[in-house]
């Protein structure tokens, strides 16, 4: 867990128990985060696990050799493992968040039993963009990781190419990582929402309240919060819309079909349809058009 008294200036500062995400637009930006994370893990006596997806195992090994890491020696003594996303995340063709966390517990225990100080693990998250069973549970997994990492001897870095992920999913990713890295800098993430809140039934209200609290801390004393934001928060609370439902409502108002919504949010069409049905029920709307008009009228979407 992030110690809010400990300023983070680089990825080197990540310690066992930390759960971070990194966002990048170029390979150079990704390497600026990944290289120090892996190098520091090896130098600190951690076992290092690297999960590749867009990369191949061979390409990842070549990059590490290029920065002076003796990959063969690290692999031979068991200090480094490089595996594909299919081997790590997709067991029997299905992604299961709970099974993945069980895997992380076992990997951490194995590292400690092998005499290593901790486990440093990092993975490319682009695998979730493929239509794989269970991939719609990504954010559930990221939230549950925040129950696993604190107090553990494991530190994790989730890699996201934000050119490939939609803005709604990026916001969910931000909400589930206590630390966010951009370039080589790491920041305590005030958009982070605790797993108990994130996995609850009234996420949007809690999330908006959380963000408003931090916004209030940063505004000049005595200056009122923008009325538009206050009104949106009140309306969201009134209808008990979750953050995901608010996102779906915006896409409905934009004229998207359930299939288009599913593609945009990387969820199944059935899940999208269920979200739309729940939204209509909460708004008391007889149709998608009525739900869209109410959302626009009351400022839930723009």
What mean pLDDT comes out for the span 103-111? 96
Mean pLDDT check: name the lowest of 39-48, 64-73, 223-232, 274-283: 223-232
What mean pLDDT comes out for the span 70-75? 94
Domains of the chain (ranges; CATH) run 11-196 (3.40.50.300), 201-297 (3.40.50.2300)
Q: Is the pLDDT of residue 38 over 90?
A: yes
Mean pLDDT check: name the lowest of 29-38, 99-108, 216-225, 261-270: 216-225
Amino acid 211: pLDDT = 56
Q: Which of 21-30, 42-51, 162-171, 283-292 has the highest mean pLDDT?
A: 42-51
275: alpha, beta or left? (left if phi > 0; alpha if psi -120 to 50): alpha
188, β-bridge pairs: 179
pLDDT digits (tens, 9 = 90+) for 166-196: 767 787 888 899 998 876 678 888 778 888 7
Q: Is the pLDDT of residue 279 over 60?
A: yes
pLDDT digits (tens, 9 = 90+) for 212-266: 555 545 444 344 444 544 555 555 556 777 767 877 888 888 888 999 888 877 7
Tokens 């993975």 belong to residue: 123
Amino acid 84: pLDDT = 93
Cα distances from 166 to residues 44, 61, 219, 279, in angstroms, run: 36, 30, 29, 21
Mean pLDDT check: name the lowest of 34-38, 45-49, 81-85, 251-255: 251-255
Q: How far is residue 118's CA from residue 293's CA, in Å, rounded to a whole number?
A: 53
What mean pLDDT comes out for the span 36-65? 93
Amino acid 300: pLDDT = 74
161, β-bridge pairs: 24
Q: Is the pLDDT of residue 5 over 50?
A: no
Tokens 């985060």 belong to residue: 33
């Amino acid at each position: 867990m992030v110690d809010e008294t400990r300023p983070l200036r680089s990825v080197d500062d990540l310690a066992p128990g930390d759960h971070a995400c990194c966002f990048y637009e170029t390979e150079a930006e990704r390497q600026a985060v990944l290289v120090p994370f892996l190098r520091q893990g090896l130098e600190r006596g951690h076992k290092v696990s690297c999960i590749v997806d867009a990369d191949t195992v061979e390409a990842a090994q070549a990059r590490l050799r290029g920065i002076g890491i003796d990959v063969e020696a690290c692999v031979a003594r068991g200090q480094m493992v490089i595996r594909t996303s299919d081997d790590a995340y997709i067991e029997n063709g299905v992604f299961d968040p709970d099974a993945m966390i069980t895997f992380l517990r076992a990997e951490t225990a194995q590292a400690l039993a092998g005499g290593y100080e901790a486990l440093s693990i990092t993975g490319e998250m682009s695998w979730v963009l493929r239509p794989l069973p269970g991939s719609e549970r990504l954010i559930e997994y990221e939230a549950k990781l925040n129950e696993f990492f604190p107090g553990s001897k494991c530190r994790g870095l989730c890699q996201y190419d934000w050119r490939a992920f939609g803005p709604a999913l990026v916001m969910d990713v931000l909400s589930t990582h206590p630390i966010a890295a951009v370039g080589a800098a790491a920041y305590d993430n005030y958009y982070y929402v605790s797993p108990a809140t994130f996995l609850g039934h009234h996420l949007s209200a809690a999330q908006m309240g959380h963000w408003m609290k931090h916004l209030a801390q940063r505004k000049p004393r005595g200056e009122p919060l923008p009325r538009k934001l206050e009104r949106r928060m009140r309306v969201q609370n009134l209808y008990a819309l979750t953050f995901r439902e608010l996102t779906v409502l915006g896409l409905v108002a934009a004229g998207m079909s359930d299939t288009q919504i599913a593609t945009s949010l990387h969820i199944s069409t059935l899940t999208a349809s269920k979200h739309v049905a729940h939204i209509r029920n909460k708004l008391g709307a007889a149709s998608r058009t009525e739900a869209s008009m109410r959302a626009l009228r009351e400022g839930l979407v723009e």
